[in-house]
Amino acid sequence: MEGWDSSTKSALTQIPLLATRAGPRDGAAWTQRLKEEYRALIAYSGMNKANDNDWFRISAANPQGTRWTGRCWYVHNLRRYEFDVQFDIPVTYPATAPEIELPQLDGKTQKAGHPDLPLRRDLELRIITVIMYRGGKICLTVHFKPLWAKNCPRFGIAHALCLGLAPWLAAEVPILVDSGMVKHKDDEASSAET
Amino acid sequence: MEEELRAIAEKLEALRRDLPDGGRHVDSIAEDMSAEVVDSNPYSRLMALQRMGIVQNYERIREFSVAIVGIGGVGSVAAEMLTRCGIGRLLLYDYDTVELANMNRSGMLISHHVRLSHFVGMTKTDAAVQTLSDINPDSYSLNITTVKGFETFMESLKRKSSLMPAHCSGVDLVLSCVDNYEARMVVNQACNELNQPWMESGVSEDAVSGHIQLLIPGETACFACAPPLVVASGVDERTLKREGVCAASLPTTMVSTFCCFTLAFVFIDNDIDLYYDFHVQKIFCFSFLKCRR
């Protein structure tokens, strides 16, 4: 957890860890896992509200709990930018993390480059092309997935939001706004009028 | 009701008799593979392998079915190469649509003098099917990592084709041509459950190195326990980034080798490599862990 800010670290220590290693095909064990997911989400959400840092709403969009939808927001220069958030629970969950999507940012979310083989690490790698994700998937590879892999099955959706989505919003929203890729909804309305 | 059905069936049979070929389904699979080594025979160079004793019976390739997961830089070219080799049946899977940036890799999409722009916006599986229409592959435009997609994926791998001889069940080999860890884990999961041999492929982002790994459930460690980086380097898996996106994408070497391995899997009955790793800039490649099949 080197390089992480102290508030994220402290939030992380307070989110209850999960115990059941179960995915959506595991029947009763998945129901148990879902209960643990909700317990962690409620604790994390309550903690955010208590610290005046409420930043998302999320809930299962189907009875099986395999699809999740909600909203998330980030304040930049005293203005609030709000996005839909959605993801499916992968069939190999929790071995693999959910791939979080912000559908309104389709075509605007950048894919970081990652060499597939360690043999390449000794050579300097220059990314010439910028590749974008489809459907507004956010890049979790560098900052989040190694943590998820190390902490399987103790991490759940709440951890994915805390360590995956929150740092992504903090890093990317200012860039998207400053470059004009994302407009505040008030500005969008006024530009439509003129 | 029964009467009506019988009447319809009879009408259908009459219509079939009226067809020019007597109702037999005509496709490339029905043609004979001539063993004659002449320039006019499209299979002469392949059948020569048989004459040289490299393979026992090349025509067996007609009975082989291969599932290709991911119709991108590696998958689309592998599909075309295997078609050229005369493969019996292909199953193609991808959830994505075609965009112009795919042009350098998806050679099959621009062959036959069709401009790629014709394919833009089509699902990658539809574009591949159009190009490979001679062998009429089964195609699935779906996301295999979702619960529903996974079920369809599993069912389709189990399904027998009416064109295949009765002793063939499902597919003989699954080729993983995907670009991310999640999808590889899904292929791994499905193949473990189906006791299905598969091959994993990966190309580094700068396209100068890659790997191929053969996984046989019950014989080799599965992908979750032995992902390629660990096999290649012996480093602690937890220190590694796991995603393998392919940005530069010039995986020609990779695909040729991949298809070569597929054919080896089909035809060579003794030693075949379990793991192969190549590195173009360092003029270096290695393969190890011979597997006696």
Q: pLDDT, tens digit, for every residue of A2-24? A: 678 888 888 899 999 999 999 99
Q: Which of residues 229-258 of B touch A (CB under 8 A)?
A: 229, 232-233, 235, 238-248
Report the candidate in B153, B111, B104, B144 with the shortest Cα–Cα distance to residue B128. B111
Give percent of chain A with pLDDT exceeding 70.
86
Residues of A with CB under 8 A from a CB of B: 24-25, 64, 66, 88-92, 95-97, 99, 111, 113-120, 123, 125, 127-129, 131, 134, 141-142, 145-146, 149-150
Q: Domain A6-108+127-178 falls in which CATH fold?
A: Ubiquitin Conjugating Enzyme (3.10.110)
Q: Is there a contact between A141 and B241 if contact means CB atoms under 8 Å apart? A: yes
Would you say residue B239 lies in a domain? yes
Would you say residue B48 lies in a domain? no
Q: Is there a contact between A90 and B182 if contact means CB atoms under 8 Å apart? A: yes
Query: In angstroms, what separates the C-alpha of B234 from chain A's closest C-alpha?
Result: 10
> CB neighbours of B280 closer than 8 A, spacing ≥ 6?
B208, B209, B253
Q: Is there a contact between A149 and B247 if contact means CB atoms under 8 Å apart? A: no
Q: What pLDDT is recorded for position B168? A: 44
Confidence of residue A192 (pLDDT cuts 50, 70, 90): low
Q: What pLDDT is recorded for position A118? A: 33
Q: Which domain holds residue B138?
A: 59-285
Torsion of CA B45, B46, B51, B53, to 10 degrees: 130
Distance, CA of A99 to CA of B109 (rounded, Å): 29
Number of domains, chain B: 1
User: Contacts of residue B205 in chain A, CB cutoff 8 Å?
Assistant: 113-116, 120, 125, 127
Q: What pLDDT is recorded for position B14? A: 77
* Matching residue, tokens 């927001």: A73
Q: What pLDDT is recorded for position A116? A: 35
Would you say residue B19 lies in a domain? no
Does A86 have pLDDT greater than 90? Answer: yes
Q: Does B226 touch chain A (CB under 8 A)?
A: no
- Residue count (chain A): 194
Q: What pLDDT is recorded for position A187? A: 85
For the packed helices B252-267 and B75-84, what is the interaxial angle rounded to 10 degrees?
A: 50
Residue of A66, A68, A117, A144 best to disrupt the B interface, most CBs of B under 10 A: A117
Would you say residue B47 lies in a domain? no
Q: Is there a contact between B224 and A141 if contact means CB atoms under 8 Å apart? A: no
CA torsion through residues A37, A83, A137, B120, sign? positive
Q: Is there a contact between A113 and B145 if contact means CB atoms under 8 Å apart? A: no
Q: What pLDDT is recorded for position B6? A: 83
User: Contacts of residue A90 in chain B, CB cutoff 8 Å?
Assistant: 145-146, 182, 185-186
Domain ranges of chain A: 6-108+127-178
How far is Cα of residue A16 from the mean position of the Cα atoms in its chain?
A: 18
Which of the residue ranges A26-30, A113-117, A130-134, B155-159 has the most confident prediction, judged by mean pLDDT?
A: A26-30
User: Contacts of residue A118 in chain B, CB cutoff 8 Å?
Assistant: 229, 232-233, 235, 240
Would you say residue B200 lies in a domain? yes
Mean pLDDT, chain B cut into blocks of 10 residues (293 residues total): 80 71 42 68 74 78 88 82 83 78 49 49 75 70 91 87 54 88 91 91 69 85 74 48 38 66 71 66 50 45
Query: In angstroms, what separates the C-alpha of B277 from chain A's closest C-alpha?
Result: 10
Query: Looking at the partner chain, which of B96, B235, B246 has a beta carbon nearest the beta carbon of A134?
Result: B96
- The catalytic position among B222, B246, B285, B291 is B246
Alpha helix locations (H) across B134-180?
147-158
CATH number at residue B165: 3.40.50.720
Q: What pLDDT is recorded for position B8? A: 80
**Which residue type is seen at A53?**
N
pLDDT tens, residue by residue, A28-80: 999 999 999 999 999 999 999 999 999 999 999 999 999 999 999 999 999 99
> Of all residues in chain B, what percent are helix, strand and coil, respectively (each to 5)?
40, 20, 45
Predicted TM-score of the model (pTM): 0.74
CB A148 within 8 A of CB A155: yes
Query: In angstroms, what separates the C-alpha of B244 from chain A's closest C-alpha?
Result: 5
Residue A56 pairs in a beta bridge with A72
Report the candidate in A135, A39, A138, A52 with the shortest Cα–Cα distance to residue A98. A138
Q: Is there a contact between B240 and A90 if contact means CB atoms under 8 Å apart? A: no
Distance, CA of A102 to CA of A104 (rounded, Å): 6
- If one counts every other C-beta atom within 10 angstroms of the C-beta of residue B194, the result is 16
Q: What pLDDT is recorded for position A157? A: 98
Q: Is there a contact between B186 and A92 if contact means CB atoms under 8 Å apart? A: yes
Query: What one-character DSSP code corresponds to residue B140?
Result: E
Q: What pLDDT is recorded for position A162? A: 96
CB A146 within 8 A of CB B238: yes
CB B211 within 8 A of CB B202: yes
Q: Does B202 touch chain A (CB under 8 A)?
A: yes
Question: What is the overall mean pLDDT for chain A?
Answer: 86
> Chain A residue with minimal CA distance to B189?
A92
Angle at B274 between CA B269 and CA B276, to 5 degrees: 120
Would you say residue B90 lies in a domain? yes
Q: Can you spell out the DSSP letters for B14-74?
A: HHHHHSTTTTPPP-GGGS------STT-TTHHHHHHHHTTSSS-GGGGGG-EEEEE--STT
Does A99 have pLDDT greater than 50? Answer: yes
Query: Looking at the partner chain, which of B204, B224, B235 has a beta carbon nearest the beta carbon of A116?
Result: B204
pLDDT tens, residue by residue, A148-185: 988 999 999 999 999 999 999 999 999 999 989 899 98
Strands (E), B209-260: 209-215
